[in-house]
Amino acid sequence: MSASDNIPAKTFYLETFGCQMNVHDSEKVIGTLLHEGYIQVEEVEQAGLILYNTCSIRDKAEQKVFHRLADYKKLQKQGKRFGVLGCVAQQEGEKIFERAPYVSLVAGSASYRNLPHMLAKLEAGEQRITGLDDRNTDETFDTEFTARSNPYRGYITIIEGCDKFCAYCVVPYTRGKERSRTSDSVMAEAQRMADEGYTDIQLLGQNVNSYRDPSGKKSFAALLAAVGEVAGIRRVRFTTSHPRDFTKDIVDAIDAVPALCDHVHLPVQSGSNNVLKAMLREYTREEYLTKVGWVKAAKRDISMTTDMIVGFPGESEADFEESISLCREAGFDAVFAFKYSPRPNTPAINLADSIEEDEKSKRLAILMDRQRQIQAETYQRHLGQTLAAMVEGRNEARGQLVGRSSQNKTVNFSSRALIQPATGSYVNVLITKVTPNSLVGEMIA
């Protein structure tokens, strides 16, 4: 079967929305398609098959995919096929066929193992192919065909799904139940990456520290340490951690294993116990701050970052003030803050979305402004330090190199060396200036 305009049907275009899990799933989907004989193209116009790997975390993210589908509707007349993958696919299921009848494939992340089978159906001309899972899957999507987009830094998914059911969140419904890979399979992938020249590995999971080795061999902290001890691996990160499952042995592992990065992203969502309770987060402000205390007491200077939601139903001015005071108490190096967005299927959808949009915007702006002040102070500690940076590229406009520190901070630096350091290499940078979101310095020999 071939699409019109002489475009071979086995060409595909893939656009990814959402979190790192989606970015990495796309690398695995691309690898699978390439293995099935497909060719990836950079322009939708050149593709026989157009795929969107979608995100549903907030309403805006979900609407993006429907806008995209509407934009490209005219391309359907040229015989192109459309597929919706990821979290919106799992959430909306067959309803997508009604809203966008030219879509032929709707598949959630728990069905990607069956992609070759679904592609065969597509090639046979089937019109409505689905890969949906209602929290039944025990399997994970492991493939040797991952097409990683960066040759130095790569992801490994160690746990998929979520069993926490926080009141506001779609993830347990879009990604299925929690299931971990065996530590042996994770270690084999880390070793393979090291052999291929990767030096930086990021372990992924919606709640990465809820990892439970099905073979019972390694705890999350032990797995983290073991990946950090693979010869050739210089940096190991993990994202994203749930505070309830954040145990002290994780901090001890960071202290003990130099390759583990000195950065912990620990989303708190709110500083108010009333709101945390309504969110069904199952920890208190005090318990969260105890865990921050472990991190602050470490031998290494571990950077802490978090996520916050403002305007959750019933959040009072006083509750909101507690979120701000928590940011100050914890001294975060970054806060990713979002306005609460009511989501289908979630428990909170039954609560009145009581905070007006204007008020949510106002709280978001205040929180971000206060955090900017906090960061301006916390970043000062780096002045005069010499930090290792992994080179990521050049900023031609500024005539500077751009790198990343172990703490996950952007480092903009100049180099007087005759030969400029290569992308992916590690260099030492003397920090001479700090800005609210980056460090500035000079490379030293």
Which residues make up the interface to ligand F3S (CB under 6 A)?
18-19, 21-22, 55-57, 86-87, 170-171, 174-175, 206
CB of 55 to ligand F3S, least distance (A): 3
- Binding to ligand SF4 (CB under 6 A) within 235-254 occurs at 242
Mind spelling out the 3-state secondary structure of 358-388?
HHHHHHHHHHHHHHHHHHHHHHHHHCCCEEE
**Other beta carbons less than 10 A from residue 116's beta carbon:** 12
Instruction: For ligand F3S, give the closer residue by CB, 162 or 302.
Output: 162
Give all strands of the β-sheet with 200-204 in edge-to-edge order: 153-157, 200-204, 235-239
- Binding to ligand SAH (CB under 6 A) within 348-407 occurs at none
What CA–CA distance (Å, rounded) separates 75 from 52?
A: 15
Beta bridge partners of 136: none
Question: Does the protein bind ligand SF4 through residue 427 (CB under 6 A)?
Answer: no
User: Which helix (H) or strand (E) segment is 236 a member of?
Assistant: strand 235-239
What CA–CA distance (Å, rounded) separates 201 from 236?
A: 5
Instruction: For ligand SF4, give the closer residue by CB, 160 or 319.
Output: 160
Among 58, 121, 148, 248, binds ligand SAH (CB under 6 A): 58
Instruction: For ligand SAH, give the closer residue by CB, 171 or 233.
Output: 171
Largest CA distance in the chain: 64
343 binds, among ligand F3S, ligand SF4, ligand SAH, none (CB under 5 to 8 A by kind): ligand SAH
CB of 316 to ligand F3S, least distance (A): 28
CB of 100 to ligand F3S, least distance (A): 19
* β-strand pairing of 400-405 with 386-395: antiparallel
The contacts of residue 115 (CB under 8 Å, 6+ apart) are 29, 32, 33, 36, 107, 131
Question: Does the protein bind ligand SAH through residue 183 (CB under 6 A)?
Answer: no
Instruction: For ligand SF4, give the closer residue by CB, 346 or 378.
Output: 346
Among 161, 172, 267, 441, binds ligand SAH (CB under 6 A): 267
In order, the DSSP letters of 129-162 are EEE--SS--------TT---S-SSEEEEE-EE--
CB of 165 to ligand SF4, least distance (A): 6
User: How many residues does the structure list for the chain?
Assistant: 445
165 binds, among ligand SAH, ligand F3S, ligand SF4, none (CB under 5 to 8 A by kind): ligand SF4
Can you tell me which residue has the tokens 């159906």?
Answer: 121
Instruction: For ligand SAH, give the closer residue by CB, 142 or 307.
Output: 307
- Both structure tokens of 242: 């749930």
Question: Does the protein bind ligand SF4 through residue 207 (CB under 6 A)?
Answer: yes
87 binds, among ligand F3S, ligand SAH, ligand SF4, none (CB under 5 to 8 A by kind): ligand F3S
Instruction: For ligand SF4, give the closer residue by CB, 166 or 431.
Output: 166
Instruction: For ligand SAH, give the closer residue by CB, 338 or 426.
Output: 338
Instruction: For ligand SAH, give the closer residue by CB, 165 or 301.
Output: 165
How big is the chain by its Cα radius of gyration, in Å? 23
Can you tell me which residue has the tokens 């915007």?
Answer: 361
Among 90, 104, 199, 207, binds ligand SAH (CB under 6 A): 207
In order, the DSSP letters of 295-313 are HHTSSS--EEEEEEEE--T
Whether the CB-CB separation of 211 and 158 falls below 8 Å is answered with yes
Amino acid identity of residue 280, one-letter, is L
Whether the CB-CB separation of 131 and 114 falls below 8 Å is answered with yes
Instruction: For ligand F3S, give the closer residue by CB, 21 or 254.
Output: 21
Question: Does the protein bind ligand SF4 through residue 266 (CB under 6 A)?
Answer: no
Instruction: List residues binding ligand SF4 (CB under 6 A).
Output: 162, 164-166, 169, 171-172, 206-207, 242
Instruction: List residues binding ligand SAH (CB under 6 A).
Output: 57-58, 168-169, 206-207, 240, 242, 267, 269, 307, 309, 338, 340-341, 343
